[in-house]
Amino acid sequence: MARLRIILHGKAAGNAGVRTAVQGLRREGHIVEVRVTWETGDAQRLTAEAVAEAGAGKIDCIVAGGGDGTINEVFATAYAVGLPAQCSLGILPLGTANDFAHATGVPQDPTVALRLAATTAPQWIDIGRLNDRLFINLVSGGFGSRVTVETDPELKKRLGGLAYVLTGISRFAEVSANSGRFRAEGFSWEGRFVAVAIGNGRQAGGGVPLCPDALIDDGLLDLMILPELDRTERLDAFARLLRHGAASIRAGLVTARSAWIEYESEDALNVNLDGEPMLSRRFRVECRKRALPVRLGNNPLMSVKS
């Protein structure tokens, strides 16, 4: 028997599949409680309350029910307030993209996902920190991050990850390169670039593998930079990046792997941090190795099995 506390995004409160999954887990003998978010700050508050109850021995697993943004909020809060050793985290993927869940083997089916959270052993994963903000999956910057933010939510519902590709291609005339300087362990690069990704996980934007070799337990972050290209090459390269990922244009990329990465520029860069947009002229990203225990599926992003 497991004791689960689901922090459920308010948009999923009426999801019949979630209700069926919760009832099914209860019939199997598990204790499942649900807390629904209503306004900004609720996910952090409800997670902090769950962590406190876990510390008192009342909860075994805190489950983030929502998309990548909800996972980031719940996991980051659990880490910040101090998740007790006897409690772990789980994922109930209910967003449009569900990039982190897909990459780590957590299925879309709510019943199967909750059963994973109730019955599997936790795996210790890394987390990233950009200045004072934590992230679980991936940071993207440049034109690609604008595409993620500006894609119509209704289009995402109908087309899933393909919506990002269509939006990117339709707005390609707006592409302008950024100038910046990157530093990491044994690495330095300066120049103009169209897109950048810093991955703890591998994929973003509805399944695009921007950092296809990243591992979430090695204490390192993967850096991918797409330098500025000639106009004749730009559309083809960016379309291939959005449709097939970084591996399809590997020869034209600048890459590195490091426990920390620094960026600075005279101009503000559009940055997307696990679905949350921001603007920044300089930042430092660090990896916190094996910082959180998470109950995942058949997970190819792990170098060490827990």
Q: Are 198 and 257 spatial neighbours (Cβ–Cβ below 8 Å)?
A: no
3-state secondary structure of 206: coil
Beta 61-66 vs 3-8: how paired, if at all? parallel
- The kind and range of the H/E element at 52 are helix 42-55
3-state secondary structure of 298: coil
Compute the chain's Rg from CA coordinates: 19
- Rounded CA-CA distance 263/286 in Å is 12
Catalytic-role residue among 28, 49, 276, 286: 276
53 classed as catalytic:
no
Structure tokens of 270? 């559009």
- Rounded CA-CA distance 58/78 in Å is 15
Question: Beta-strand (E) ranges in the chain?
Answer: 3-8, 31-36, 61-66, 88-93, 123-130, 133-135, 138-142, 178-184, 187-199, 203-204, 208-209, 221-227, 254-258, 260-273, 276-294
- Rounded CA-CA distance 121/100 in Å is 18
Question: Beta-strand (E) ranges in 16-135?
Answer: 31-36, 61-66, 88-93, 123-130, 133-135
- Picking from 249, 240, 220, 201, the residue whose alpha carbon sits closest to that of residue 97 is 201
> Among all residues, which ones are annotated catalytic?
276
